[in-house]
Structure formats: structure tokens, C-alpha cells
Amino acid sequence: MDLLPAIDIRGGKCVRLLKGDFHQETHYEATPANLAQRYADLGARWVHVVDLDGARDGSPQNLDLVATIAQTKKIEIQLGGGIRSETDLIRALTVVNRVVVGSLAATSPNLVEHWLREFGPNRLTLALDVRLDQDNEPFIATHGWTKDSKLTLWAALDRYSQAGLRNVLCTDVDRDGALKGPNLKLYKTCVERCPDISFQASGGVRNIQDLCELSKTGVAFAISGKALLEGLLSDEEMRSFLPNG
């Protein structure tokens, strides 16, 4: 398992939200481009960039800034936030290596299946982000996590697996930015049900122990943003989970 550093952008600045809430935002001094360079220097091969303005507004808003980040040596970019049309998808793919599709995976499955065939499963990651109901059933959240769908994570995985899906980012929304530990049971179940999919676990990472526990679930990547920005993992600890560290 590799660590996948997250860089969340709003208004051109590096921020973090608590559980996706735009009213609970923390600003950080580091610029997105400098942060990407720091992670590359530590040994990261990928960074996960989130265009929060795009997620809220429904189309990418920070592609020029992302293009600047893409000039970072030895780094590849996975970009999410606001990809809800084929035009925006193509625009994003001219800038980054892989694009995250979120809301449409729940609302327009036929279109997303077409994209998987048209652009190839290695250029797309489906963000199947979930909230657990009172029975711990994971239902997919959409539109920047502001809406809840009636589609379960398991139903989405079953459908898209048949369409050649290879990359899935799964966030337990209620743990995002909360530093209360990842949902290990959720990710272990994901890997057991779909061993051919490369899962990216997101939400709740606090420290090196959380990374060690996540690695036991079989996920391919652990995404972390806040823990890295707030120095909860040392450079040495980060390098131990970075491919070029």
C-alpha cells in the first residue's frame, strides 16, 4: 500500500474541510504547487488534487493552477471535483494523468460506463464516497457530499466491475478531516468483494499506526491530507509508505 497525499484547493489556496462542510474550513500556508513538490521530494509518485470550487459549482474551476502543479517533476496527478460532463472530463484529461468521477457514478451510470470504455479504466477513478445508515449500510453521497443517493456502495461496485472498473476512491464521509481513524471494516469488505479493483481508502488517517492497519486491509492507496498538513506523520514515516521514498 502506498500513501497518496491529498491537496485540496479552494480559491487557489490549500485548505481542508471537515466532513466536506464548506463552513468548516481550515487554511494552510503552503501553496498547492509547493506542497506537491514537497511530496514528490519525499517519494510520492502520485498526488490526489481536489478542486473544491469545482465540486461545489459543478465544473472544474482551478485547472490553470492544476496545470502548474502538473509541472512538478516526478509526480502524477489524480484530479477530482466537478467532473460532470464529457467536455469537462476531456479538459481535465489534457492536464492530469487520471480524473476522478464522483456524482455521475450514482446519477448517470450509463454515461460513466461509456467513459470507462471510451477513455480506458486507467484514466478514471470512481469516487464512491459513502455515509453509513443506522444499519451500517454504505450509501453513496453525491454533489460534493451535500446529497445522499439511494445507491449502495455494493450495488455500484457490482455494476461497474462488469464495465471494467479498475480504480475506486472510497471515503467514509463522516470520518473525512475528523482525524478519528479510518473505517477498516469497510475497506476490508471492499477488497474481499472486489479483489481486482485498486481501492483508495480516504477519511480519518491520524498517524503511522492507521497506515499500518490500512495496509492490512489490502487497499492499494491510503489518502491523507490533514494529517500530513498538520505534521502528524514525520517525513520518515511518510517515506516508509511512499514508493520512491
pLDDT lower than 70: segments of the chain: 16-25, 144, 177-178
Active site residues: 8, 129
- Domains defined for the chain, CATH in brackets: 2-239 (3.20.20.70)
Q: What is the mean pLDDT of the chain?
A: 90
In this prediction, residue 18 carries a pLDDT of 62
In this prediction, residue 180 carries a pLDDT of 82
Write the burial class of residue 133 (CB in 10 Å: 0-12 exposed, 13-18 middle, 19+ buried): exposed
In this prediction, residue 133 carries a pLDDT of 87
In this prediction, residue 203 carries a pLDDT of 87
